[in-house]
Structure 1
Amino acid sequence: MDEYQKELMNALPGLKESLPQPFWRLAEVFRNQVFELCTADGEEGTLEYYVPYMMNDAAESYFMMEKCHMTGEYQPEETENTSAELITEETGYALIVRQASGNVFTLWFANLRWKEHFYQYHGIGHFWRKGQEQWRQLVYMAGTLHDKCVYLGDEACSEKEKALFHLIEFGPFRKWSPIQEDLEEKYPPTYEGIDCMRQLAREAGDWKYERLLCVYKKFPFRWLETWLSRRLEKPSREALYQLIYEKIRAASCEYPVRRYQEEEQYRIDVCRQEADTFLRGKGFQGTYPEYYKESMWIQAAEEQPFTILESSDYVFRIYFMISERKKGRCGRNSGFFHGRGRRSRVAEFKGNESLS
């Protein structure tokens, strides 16, 4: 038994070496203080119990407790300082959970089933911060596939994803955080991250940036990290951006798109069709999610709810990443790079006012 296994056994007293992997992953939930209990209506009016493990735009993984019932009451607003104890019986298991306020409840279940589903994620767009949205979107995707590999293991990731695993560890790239917080603590800079970006720059034919990264690897100073991050805003980095996007897209396309219950899927399909009809009515050519017209390019990006265990107030949304160039062909998100005659903006699709 290694030290990490001992740590998990301390996090979930009652955990035994003989128990299957799902129980060890359940112990990680309590170790990391991320326990959450979800319920859904099952067959014949029964209530089904779930515990999320890792839910992001690339993967939905969770535990399902078979033939489960609860004694006591779960307090969903209490998310910190939660502890638990596992009891193994001949007919099943009992998970006794203690919440911070002293509230205690017990889940009685016959077995713990592990569920995981993988989906495409290259069409996702969360626009929480303004400026260089094209890079922030890629940072989000790179972090998403990195988390998937870390938490679900190599077997959950394709070779294409493994090749991009260290990308988020390249500091100048990671600095374009899609959220308000800096991501350095979560994704510390590594030499592997520099090597990953050097290889990508070489493939993109961006020899200037590749040479700069050789210097950065020898002298990884903070000021140089910031300067290299700013260089990503330049139009000369567009080929590098397009290459990274295509590689993430290729990795993502190995998985299926999310599919929902019939009624919800119908609403989403209608929304996509309305966006397509709207853009074609404005004279754009192309197919969803990419459209072009003269000196403009529009990339549609989506906020997608999970297929299960999603909050009721989270809804499907479409955003337009709108690029314009006065001279030359406007490619995917070209207008977001800083340069003369380039303009960009992000607009949520809400019908006729979306491009106003």
Structure 2
Amino acid sequence: MNLTNIDKLNMLIEQGMFEPVELDEKNIIDENGRGDFRIIYLMNDTVESFLVFKNAKYTGEYNDKFEGFTDIELEKREEGYVLIIKQEQSYFLIFFDDVELENYYYNYGKIGHFWIKGYEHLRVLEYQVAIVWDKMCYIGKESCTDNELKIASLKQFPPLNYCSYPCVPDIYQVPLEDKWHLSKDANNFMMEIAKKAGDTELEEKLLQYGENPTIKNAKKMAKLFRRKEHKKVIQLLMKYIEEAAAVYPDRSFGKSLDERNKKLLDKAVNRKNELEKAGMEAVVYKEEQFVYDCDSVEFNVYVMLWKDGLVNSSVRIEKIE
């Protein structure tokens, strides 16, 4: 999607979404009662994005606890715009000159959520791909590096997307128009990873799948990614995502919270080192709240321990307390 900022605002209006935020001193109103007014546009582990109403002035009252129907309407006027929010008989009006997009990008390479059990290592990949895809779609391709565009392409790779290994229950999924559609770019990217891993068997299977991308073949491919002989491909993909995300800064929540979080992370790293000394493979993942919406999730840290069976690889998740 190539949306203007007004298009983005209209999209939120159509979805009935209006979430004002305060970003510290950036929302200071001047002596004329005007200033910048922000609402949430997109919040995920890759980006915290806001639509900023420039030179805004508002009147009326807005109840963020209101549970009834909120009617929102945008009007274009000669001198700018007015956003009209109606909650029953209460009106909240925002007059502004223009809309700008304000984005804060973060490192998501070690973010993992474990809401669904079974093959959690594959579900983590599905989650990370999905949030990069959302960033690309809602913010624009210019918000992604070339490496991230490759990662985003895997949203259209059914053997690893939510068709096969959903990270969240179906009720929370935003479905694709054709969820079983295979992107040629995605398949080529996976062939690139397989080749780098020296996995000629999987590379050949991917070539065949690209030539005949049926649902049946997608399901067969999905099962192959569980196999322990193809584990290196999955591990290289994880590493690729980690390195692509590392160009962005880590979130900071202030000195005291950062110190507390670091203690948990250090404890997880020590556990990881302990496991590796015993000849096992482990990865550290974390969950973290958003900087400007700290009610999202608690900060949690996990160690994901690889387990090889007779045929398949699986993982065990340890939460660090």
TM-score when scaled to structure 2?
0.82
Deviation at 1:98, TM superposition (A): 4.0
For residues 286 and 104 of structure 2, what CA distance do their matches in structure 1 show? 19
Deviation at 1:302, TM superposition (A): 1.1
Q: Say if 2:46 and 2:132, in contact at 8 Å, map to a contact too.
A: yes
Alignment match, 1:331: none
Alignment match, 1:190: 182
In structure 2, give the amino acid aligned to 1:271.
Answer: N
2:42 aligned with 1:54: yes
Q: Structure 1's 184 and 219: CA in aligned 2 closer, same or farther, altered over 3 A? A: farther
2:283 aligned with 1:299: yes
2:295 aligned with 1:312: yes
2:236 corresponds to which of 221, 235, 243: 243
1:126 corresponds to which of 83, 90, 113: 113
For residues 26 and 203 of structure 2, what CA distance do their matches in structure 1 show? 61
Alignment match, 1:167: 154
In structure 2, give the amino acid aligned to 1:163.
Answer: K
Q: Say if 2:109 and 2:242, in contact at 8 Å, map to a contact too.
A: yes
Q: Structure 1's 244 and 131: CA in aligned 2 closer, same or farther, altered over 3 A? A: same
Q: Deviations over 1:98-124 (max 9, x none)?
A: 46x676432234554421011110110
Q: Deviations over 1:282-326 (max 9, x none)?
A: 6x638xxxx622133442211111111x153632111222x2xxx
2:72 corresponds to which of 83, 87, 90: 83
Q: Say if 2:41 and 2:51, in contact at 8 Å, map to a contact too.
A: yes
For residues 30 and 214 of structure 1, what CA distance do their matches in structure 2 show? 44
Q: Structure 1's 43 and 178: CA in aligned 2 closer, same or farther, altered over 3 A? A: closer
In structure 2, give the amino acid aligned to 1:213.
Answer: L
Alignment match, 2:60: 71
Relative to structure 2, which stretch is displaced further, 58-67 or 103-112? 103-112
Name the SS of the counterpart of 1:347 in structure 2.
strand
Q: Structure 1's 184 and 176: CA in aligned 2 closer, same or farther, altered over 3 A? A: farther
For residues 185 and 108 of structure 1, what CA distance do their matches in structure 2 show? 35
In structure 1, give the amino acid aligned to 2:85.
Answer: V
Deviation at 1:128, TM superposition (A): 0.5
1:38 corresponds to which of 20, 26, 34: 20
The correspondence of residues 1-356 of structure 1 with structure 2, limited to 5 A, is: 21-31=4-14, 33-40=15-22, 43=25, 49-65=37-53, 66-76=55-65, 78=67, 82-88=71-77, 90=79, 93-98=81-86, 104-109=91-96, 111-174=98-161, 175-181=164-170, 185-186=175-176, 188=179, 189-192=181-184, 193-260=186-253, 262=254, 265-277=255-267, 280=270, 285=273, 292-308=276-292, 310-312=293-295, 314-321=297-304, 323=305, 334-335=306-307, 337-339=308-310, 344-350=315-321
In structure 2, give the amino acid aligned to 1:304.
Answer: E
For residues 42 and 105 of structure 2, what CA distance do their matches in structure 1 show? 11
Alignment match, 2:32: none
TM-score when scaled to structure 1?
0.75
For residues 157 and 164 of structure 1, what CA distance do their matches in structure 2 show? 10
In structure 1, give the amino acid aligned to 2:137.
Answer: V
In structure 1, give the amino acid aligned to 2:278.
Answer: E
Deviation at 1:247, TM superposition (A): 1.2
In structure 2, give the amino acid aligned to 1:204.
Answer: A
Q: Structure 1's 303 and 56: CA in aligned 2 closer, same or farther, altered over 3 A? A: same
For residues 115 and 66 of structure 2, what CA distance do their matches in structure 1 show? 25
How many residues are matched?
308
Q: Say if 2:268 and 2:320, in contact at 8 Å, map to a contact too.
A: no
Q: For structure 2, list consecutive stretches of 5 or more residues without a partner in the other structure.
A: 30-35
For residues 81 and 215 of structure 1, what CA distance do their matches in structure 2 show? 51
Name the SS of the counterpart of 2:276 in structure 1.
strand
Q: Structure 1's 40 and 164: CA in aligned 2 closer, same or farther, altered over 3 A? A: closer
Give the RMSD, CA atoms, in angstroms: 3.3
For residues 189 and 229 of structure 2, what CA distance do their matches in structure 1 show? 19
Q: Say if 2:268 and 2:301, in contact at 8 Å, map to a contact too.
A: no
Name the SS of the counterpart of 1:201 in structure 2.
helix
Deviation at 1:209, TM superposition (A): 1.4
Deviation at 1:197, TM superposition (A): 1.9
Q: For structure 1, list consecutive stretches of 5 or more residues without a partner in the other structure.
A: 9-20, 324-333, 351-356
In structure 2, give the amino acid aligned to 1:273.
Answer: K
For residues 169 and 163 of structure 1, what CA distance do their matches in structure 2 show? 11
Q: Say if 2:21 and 2:40, in contact at 8 Å, map to a contact too.
A: no
Deviation at 1:229, TM superposition (A): 0.7
